[in-house]
Amino acid sequence: MKSPNPILNKNTLILAISFLAILVLICYIYPAFSLINEAKLTLDSKRAELEYTQKQNTDFALVKSSSEQIEERIEVISNLYVNGLNALDFISFLEEIATEIGLPDPGINMSVERISEQAATIPIQITLSGSFDKVINYLSQLEQSDYLIIPGEITMTKSGDGLVTTQIMSNTYWRY
């Protein structure tokens, strides 16, 4: 009987181990690397999405903050307009200023020029008679009022006894 060749057995063993190593590499390690690579790509994609979402949240926070500031300003501006439903209150306000200063009731003429369904510009003509100081005081009170009154043309005519007759042409802004 022939004895087995130790070199052949050694080569066969190396060949078998190499074959098993290649088989393990092909069946287990390569798919694992593929899964790791896919997971890395997914992770990179999710990071990009997260950064984009964070930027959107930051942008949204800025927009929200700006809109709150704008809403506050709109509220302030809106309150400057005369409420069209309270026209009598506005006229009474103009007369009360004259009474407080000691002027006779002013003559008030108004004509409506609609800007839109919600707003209008109403030119108003106020005629006052009194001392120069009282008329200036009346103008100062108009300026300090909570209404949006923009004086345009002011005409003063000297009447007798140090009195002046004053016509004030102004625009007022109304909302409905």
**How long a stretch of residues is the chain?**
176
Rounded to whole angstroms, the Cα distance separating 31 from 27 reads: 7
pLDDT of res. 169: 92
Average pLDDT over residues 97-113: 84
Average pLDDT over residues 12-18: 83
Q: What percent of the chain clears pLDDT 90, i.e. is strictly above it?
A: 17
**Among positive and negative, which fits the CA dihedral 83, 89, 92, 98?**
negative
Q: Name the 3-class secondary structure at 164.
A: strand
With tokens 């008329």, the residue in question is: 135
pLDDT of res. 8: 60
**pLDDT tens by residue, 52-99:** 888 888 888 888 888 888 887 777 676 666 666 567 788 888 899 999
pLDDT of res. 83: 67
With tokens 């100062």, the residue in question is: 140
Counting Cα atoms < 13 Å in the Cβ hemisphere of 118 gives 2
> Backbone phi, then psi, for 58, in 5-degree steps?
-65, -45
Q: What residues pair up with 131 in beta bridges, in sequence order?
A: 163
Q: Are 130 and 104 in contact (CB under 8 A)?
A: yes
What's the mean per-residue pLDDT of the chain?
81
The pairing of strands 163-175 and 82-83 is parallel
